Amino acid sequence: MNLGGGWNDDPITREDEKTADEVINTCLDLGINFFDHADIYGKGKSEAVFGKVLRSNQGIRSKIIIQSKGGIRFQHPKRYDFSTFHIKSCVEGSLKRLNTDYLDIWLLHRPDPLMEPEEIAEVFSGLKAQGKVRYFGVSNMHLHQIQFLQSYLKDELIVNQIEMSLGHLDWLDEGVLFGNKTGKDLNFTPGTIEYCQMNKIQIQSWGSLAQGIFSGRDATNKPESVRETAKIVKTLSEKYDCSEEGIVLAWLMRHPAGIQPIFGTINPVRIKACNDAVRLSITHEEWYELYVSARGVEMP
């Protein structure tokens, strides 16, 4: 989401193109071939600058998986829109900006309370029949919304992208605190993780690095739990001879749901640091050490 410059109407610069080219090639050199977009990122410039790189390097498209999202509208009032017209507009816009004939995956970005599932089913079928989108998924939806939508669709939804990190633990605490009054204010729908596992829906985590607060960002003014967790991350990175980012992502990937972390850095050094996660397998005890520390209180 940080490609293409700021979230403004400034034109894409040569420096923006150079950055995008470096990011894509750094990823490919590391074996990372999955790129997550959204039509709103950089007000469309993130997709557009990515598409410029694809146009200049014709052989890249067949080597990568492109996912994009749509449904958020910033025009007043800011709202969500899953109408046939807007879904088609989102997909067509992304295809044009990305300079590609098809999207491997397209996600509904945030739940629209006014969604008509029959309408979504029809437009999804049309986009797939036209070869414009191969697979569909959702983002920021709980299991009941997914079940409701899925009941109208011909094809299985294959992705649910939600916020998950050492700094955002509701998805874990919801199960751990079942029946415990300390969990009464949690904002995570019970059973969503298990539903996705049971139905082979790939869980993707956004915000995976928690904005770097556990991997080098200044945490002086953060809660003690954050500072202590950052120290544990540092210790483990030294033990495993890897980056702190690698430990933070390896913690997510240790969960049996097979979480696929999405990270948004466009710094090649940090991209390489994140890639350390694929070679790590932290222990059961180390996973809990991080979890309990990040919670800030011991387990019930």
Residue 139's closest CA among 171, 110, 168? 110
Active site residue 41: yes
- pLDDT per position as a tens digit, 245-298: 999 999 999 999 999 999 999 999 999 999 999 999 999 999 999 999 999 999
Q: What structural domains does the chain harbor? A: 14-157 (3.20.20.100)
Which spans in 142-191 are helix H? Answer: 143-150, 170-176
The DSSP bridge partners found for residue 203 are 160
pLDDT at 55: 95
Give the residue, 135 or 185, on which the prediction is more confident.
135
Residue 193 to residue 170: CA distance in whole angstroms: 11
Q: What is the pLDDT of residue 79?
A: 96
What's the first-to-final CA gap in the chain, in angstroms? 38
pLDDT, tens digit, 9 for 90 and up, residues 166-222: 999 999 999 999 999 999 999 999 999 999 999 999 999 999 999 999 999 999 999
Q: What is the per-residue pLDDT for 58?
A: 83
Question: Which of 20, 8, 7, 12 has the alpha carbon at shortest distance from 267?
Answer: 20
The pTM assigned to this predicted structure is 0.96
87 and 123 Cβ atoms separated by less than 8 Å: yes
* DSSP of 48-76: HHHHHHHHH-TTSGGG-EEEEEE-EE-SS
Rounded Cα distance, 287 and 281, in Å:
10
How far is it, in rounded angstroms, from Cα 268 to Cα 257?
28
pLDDT at residue 48, rounded to an integer = 98
Could you give the CA distance from residue 26 to residue 261 in angstroms, rounded to a whole number? 17
Tens-place pLDDT, residues 61-112: 999 999 999 999 999 999 999 999 999 999 999 999 999 999 999 999 999 9
Percent of all residues in the chain with a pLDDT value above 90, rounded to a whole number: 98
Tens digit of pLDDT for each residue in 149-180?
Answer: 999 999 999 999 999 999 999 999 999 999 99
> Is residue 138 within 8 Å of residue 106, measured between CB atoms?
no
Contact in structure between 214 and 167 (CB atoms under 8 Å): yes
